[in-house]
Homo-oligomer: A and B are copies of this chain.
Amino acid sequence: MTPAIRHCFLFLLTATMSSPVPAASEESAEAVASYRRANEVSILQGFVELLGIPNVASDGKNIRRNAEYLRRQLETRGANVELWELEGAPPVVFGTLAAKGAERTLGIYVHYDGQPVDEAEWTHPPFEPTLYTASIEDGGHPRPFPEPGETIDPEWRLYARSAGDDKAPLPALFAALDALDAAGIARTSNLKFLFEGEEETGSPHLGAYFETHRDLLDVDLWLICDGPSHQSRRPQLVFGVRGITGFEITLYGATRNLHSGHYGNWAPNPALDLARLLASMKDDQGNVLVADFYDSTAPISETERAAIQALPEVDPALRRELGLAASEGNNASLAERMLLPSLNIRGFESGAVGDKSRNVIPNVATASLDIRLAKGNDPAMMLDLVEAHIRKLEYHIVREDPDAATRLAHPKLVKIRRETGYPAARTSIELPIVRQLISAADTVTEESLILMPTLGGSLPLYLFTEVLASPVVIVPIANHDNNQHAPDENLRLANLWYGIDLLGAVLTMPH
């Protein structure tokens, strides 16, 4: 952070807070940084070893190799570790590491599985880590791994599946623990480690693991070490995610496609009816017209508003890049619009267009929609509101394709297929432990730290905030251009060094 920006940021942050934010220890920050500088080559070697173990969730044998590797790493550092098991699920690596005299417990979540790979699309095999002098897009070329003592350029990139998403926090954590241990600096929090092995398939068993082991999972704050830094390359802390649900609506015309000459102007057209129904749901500024749609949404706090104001202004450039003359809500900022629930048509279909179009009245029209949820919105209740809107327009709702009698009884008939979903999660920036975290992260951030009230994406963090009833903060380490989920995933080494510094500061943050 430059002094001017830091001043401005702290002003914004403290303007809404009741007490000053204590600074993290300068001593420990320096100790961690110098340990890291002295051990970069061996830290990198450890990371390469981890990335060499294939980690697609469906590859049971290798997934277990990852878990065993992580168990050893934690045990080496004094933690008590167990592998939790559930039939058909990768193991969860759970560990505890007490800190003498600490009255606070931090949970550290990382997922060790990665997205499936199509080797043919990768420049190098995805589980044979390869070092580059810069990103391939920026003209980098492969180079040998450095010898001990050799200087490492922080712009080098390490290419491998999960280099960014989400193995990067693991060597950072191990190095931070080693650095503090080497310097004899005590951690200020007890730690619980929770390493999941199937996040990329939607964490289907995480809820069940939480139910089974709930008594072990009591912490003061969960750090979700996942996701990328801000697109501006500045480090960020993220305080929430959107929830999600969805539904599909199908309207019916005649029992078959009809000749538009023989029946046009007489047989109802379900594509038109669907257009009218969809149009009734949102105005031309993207505001949802479904009654009470916004009512359950948690208000935006003053601190959140200040954090949004302090964000780099990305909207105009983003509109230009995406070819958009305007964005919804009268060009209101993207970060602010994410704090409202959205109603999105992800597709619709009826009859045919282009070369395939025929002069028919289509017999069916379907639209698929998703609802991104903001904090406070219950997935089922939001679908109930949409259904109430549709009923108010005199539609009769069915759950299966209607039979002849049902068609003839109801001039306005809609099939609705409801999806399940999960709620949003959002932690208050004003909690004391969150303020302590922000302050710790700020000590290792040269540029101004970004405080992002919510990610646009959806993750089941409600399991932490609602099932475990603990606050969560997402602590990203990877570069934003890490090719997450894509071929040629990579980590910029400067981001690994940042992760070590960050976790060192977090593990020693004052109360």
Contact = CB atoms under 8 A, between A and B. Distances in A.
Contacts of A272: 278-279, 282, 286, 345
Nearest to A258: B322
Contacts of A404: 323
A368 interface: yes
A345 B275 contact: yes
A456 B345 contact: no
Given A267-B322, A274-B275, A329-B265, A352 B347 contact: yes
Contacts of A338: 265-266
Contacts of A372: 260-261, 264-265
Nearest to A279: B279
Given A345-B271, A372-B260, A354 B320 contact: no
Contact of A328 (B255, B268, B286, B362): B268
Contact of A456 (B254, B261, B327, B455): B261
Contacts of A346: 260, 351-352, 357-362
Interface stretch (A195-203, A405-413, A465-473): A405-413
Given A279-B276, A457-B262, A271 B358 contact: no
Contacts of A260: 342, 344, 346, 370, 372
Contacts of A254: 322-324
A438 to B, nearest CB: 24
B259 A456 contact: yes
Interface in A331-374: 332, 334, 337-338, 340-342, 344-354, 356-362, 365-368, 370, 372
Contacts of A279: 272, 275-276, 278-280
A244 interface: yes
A269 interface: yes
A248 B337 contact: no
B347 A368 contact: no
Contacts of A455: 261
Interface in A231-270: 242, 244, 246, 248, 252-256, 258-269
A324 B407 contact: yes
A351 B368 contact: yes
Contact of A334 (B263, B282, B340, B367): B263
A251 to B, nearest CB: 12
Contacts of A261: 242, 244, 372, 455-458
Contacts of A357: 246, 248, 346-347, 368
Nearest to A273: B284
Nearest to A360: B346
A255 to B, nearest CB: 4
Contacts of A182: none
A338 B319 CA distance: 47
A457 to B, nearest CB: 4
Contact of A337 (B265, B322, B348, B411): B265
B340 A347 contact: no
Nearest to A402: B323
15 contacts: A242-B261, A253-B324, A262-B457, A265-B344, A265-B372, A267-B322, A267-B327, A267-B328, A268-B328, A269-B344, A276-B278, A276-B284, A279-B280, A348-B351, A352-B368
The 4 closest A-B pairs by CB, nearest first: A347-B351, A262-B456, A275-B278, A279-B279
Interface of A: 242, 244, 246, 248, 252-256, 258-269, 271-276, 278-280, 282, 284, 286, 319-320, 322-329, 332, 334, 337-338, 340-342, 344-354, 356-362, 365-368, 370, 372, 404, 407-411, 413, 455-458
